Structure 1
């Protein structure tokens, strides 16, 4: 893969408050990268530094081999789409899309052809004469995207572009944006706090927290192999259980001993660790099951979520700890499960992830 954007040792402070701390990242040509994290983690500040809308306190940025660290925004090669659309209400849709081309003094025929091409590309070929106020939120965001692409930028920046839309429009538009990005092959960075957006759209996800990068990886890596407890808890649902390593290599959780396949050779007896399990990682067993790695308990609460049912299970031997487990419709009917039912959950040793006292995953 060809390196396109390199971010080296970026720091940013607002007064005495550090916002970004030694951020290093390489983005490859044609890929879509999502900056994911909670509000205040620094993801939007990093995007604005890439765009030249904020100045870093230290560090450098190179785009296509050229140092752009100190270039003003108008001399950087990118298009940007904001959460608020930022369309000019007094201009027609066609004039909004043509805005960048007009500023570059492109010919009228070239502008007319490019606008028609982009409006077709975003699925609004007959909207050129309308004004933004005559369009829905999803349509306005498509126009903002067309405007950002008008000058054929090498880099597309998306700052929470879908957060102002309702859920159904958001799902449809994220699919359209991803398909468009893949068709054009434009290198894209999207900021979002929505983990579902990041998982469904990105080639790679950059998870940020308190101004640092916690993990960089594919959606599958971020979800299945979280590097830190923060990533495990922020992306998807997770059960985190304090535990201790026993002399025989088993993991003691409350009164229960569990055998875990992964990381056991890196563990020392007596070490304090945390176990991480996704709700879907449990397997339901019959109430008479005697196999090892079985948690026995009772269903306290049930939440019907359509494709599955999420249950809270009070587990015997865990001193009042409740675990979340996702059960299929077939599990619920086969075992006759309902609120108050006894429930045995098998813990598969290869699905357990273990974090050490330093908050890093034990390989």
Structure 2
């Protein structure tokens, strides 16, 4: 099989890139190791920045998102004594959309056949070849038979553990990583949220987050030691802990219910550079990971896809190589700013095991500054809604 772009990974990044390329008449094929049901079963992010919403609007795939999603004009930081409201709409004239990543992926997946986007699921043993050349190719196995796709470019949208980043020689790439000493224990339940906007809480017992996927489905988190297991946390124990950490006002509005899904996710900050090597472009988690504190993971993938789609369509439709050459530097400039925001917010809202009285005093001072400074709130709002692309 021959195509112009072979996309590895049919998560939101790969599907979004595929749709953007097909809308501009660029031939592409998407390869996915898992089944469609498995892809949709991943419980992930739910806060969409302006860039992600605008790409769905550009594709004309925003109808269900606009009908079922929730516009949020603000976000809250809790310090145990007060709720600090960051009014994004007032401060920066922008807002975010709460719409589950699963639902966004479903919209992209359902539209693929009618948009002539070919997606090959259950593609095993995917391997990238000759990425340094102008004629790279990908091999994979399906039903016991090996297949080959020849392309001009390969887009690696296959996540942190996928084969794309590994195709770049160690002598070329550099990894930057910070592994955090805790994980997020999350519970998803069909109960109304305790607040109409997200609450990030810094409590003496640890971090907590109250979020939602809809007006009837809530997502809550607490941070736990990496040694903890899901089995250690019954639903009742988790609800009790959330009520303590989120504070009495939020606790009074918590509706408890059985977990639809419960899991512990480790936290890390990770960046791989460069994001392009020869004819291979990396997008999303294959190139970077952010702690979920700033809700940047999916949105960073969307901005990567924005840059990659522009570079690839420029190459094929305008015979311009400028976007391809600039892709890594352009994408990484925004990646590092988002990594900074996610790291800063994580440090602010979590109690780290190595921290002492000084570090705690700095958190108190920072939260007090944010509570009393419009400039500080504006900086948070600007980053939370998403920096320009």
- TM-score norm. by structure 2 comes to 0.20
User: Which one has the bigger strand percentage?
Assistant: 1
| Structure of larger gyration radius | 1
More contact order relative to length (CA 8 Å, sep ≥ 6): 2
User: Which one has the bigger helix percentage?
Assistant: 2
